[in-house]
Amino acid sequence: MQEKSNGMNYAPRGKIKRVCDKGEFSIGVIGLDHGHIYGMCNGLTEAGANVSFVYDPDTNKVMQFIQAFPEAKAAKSEDEILEHRDIKLVASASVPVQRGDLGCRVLGHQKDFFSDKPPFTTKEQLERAREKVKETGHRYAVYYSERVHVESSVLAERLIEEGAIGRVLQTINIASHRISLKQRPRWFFDASQYGGILTDLGCHQIEQFLYFTKAQDAQLVSSRIANYHYKSYQDFEDFGDAMLTADNGATCYLRVDWFTPDGLGAWGDGRLFVLGTEGYIELRKYIDIAKNKEGDHLYLVDQKGEHYYNAAGKEGFPFFGSLIRDYLEQTHIAYSQEMTFRAIELSLEAQERAIRVE
């Protein structure tokens, strides 16, 4: 299931790179409301996990999922998965407003949880999850796919770690999405269900800002939201932007919107610019417009010259293997729990404090 024209059904595939033995890491799936669940499960199964059970109230969605992951069995209920002693982790792409409470139930059953983004739509949900993580010691991971499931982002991470552009000073993240109106469910247009545009989409960009700048924390400077075009959906937002400053002095500007035109050969023209003291990097994640319809283009300018890299098929997606090994070895390599939570917390704050542009 990989439709590059539609972000809701875009599910990247990578090379098989197993980090565990067959049957060593079984997962369950609860909630098939967003197509990101296919990308989440692709990444995990390519790293050696096996999908044992799947549950969703919609049996048609379950049957479609089993076609993609035939080893999965349809569970009769959510509890059948939560109480199954062999399942190590539960993955979910349920309606965003439902993810926080589900995650707490999963952790309460002594399993790790892997949520699609956004993992929460309110600060109250976030605080309950923070307490549950402390109480149980289990992990609450989030599918921030625009970093962990994009090979040009993986390459950028490596280059920055190697010092290719010196100290990172700023990220500018432009994330336009195609709306594909006819394929969207009703909850997609209700801010109380999806959390608002800066919560839903902006958490990607804030997570990347914290990650690439190695910031421990950041403060919101300003944010704006609007519904410029889709006036028939009163609770929808089609534009948002924000500025932040990190505790180490790095700055961020992000823009998210639903204005990808149909003429583009991908669901969105995601661009990330990373400025450093010794150079800068630009990622053209999903397409290089009018030149190359494939994605994962990285441009680097440093003191020695101009450089181009095509990362597609070369870097892989190490996040998923690290996530599995973290559970099996009780480590914290794949992600920082606090940064994962702080990214969505800042997104919720940006949404809450946003000036509405009329």
pLDDT in tens, the chain (358 residues): 456 767 677 889 999 999 999 999 999 999 999 999 999 999 999 999 999 999 999 999 999 999 999 999 999 999 999 999 999 999 999 999 999 999 999 999 999 999 999 999 999 999 999 999 999 999 999 999 999 999 999 999 999 999 999 999 999 999 999 999 999 999 999 999 999 999 999 999 999 999 999 999 999 999 999 999 999 999 999 999 999 999 999 999 999 999 999 999 999 999 999 999 999 999 999 999 999 999 999 999 999 999 999 999 999 999 999 999 999 999 999 999 999 999 999 999 999 999 999 8
How do beta strands 355-357 and 112-116 pair? Answer: unpaired
CB atoms within 10 A of CB 152: 26
Q: DSSP code of 258? A: S
**Which domains can be identified in the chain, with CATH numbers?**
7-143 (3.40.50.720), 147-317+347-357 (3.30.360.10)
What's the predicted TM-score (pTM) here? 0.96
160, containing H or E segment: helix 151-161
133, containing H or E segment: helix 123-136
In whole numbers, what is the pLDDT of the chain averaged over residues?
97
Write out the two tokens for 276: 């450093």
d(CA 185, CA 191): 13
Burial (0-12, 13-18, 19+ Cβ within 10 Å), 277: exposed
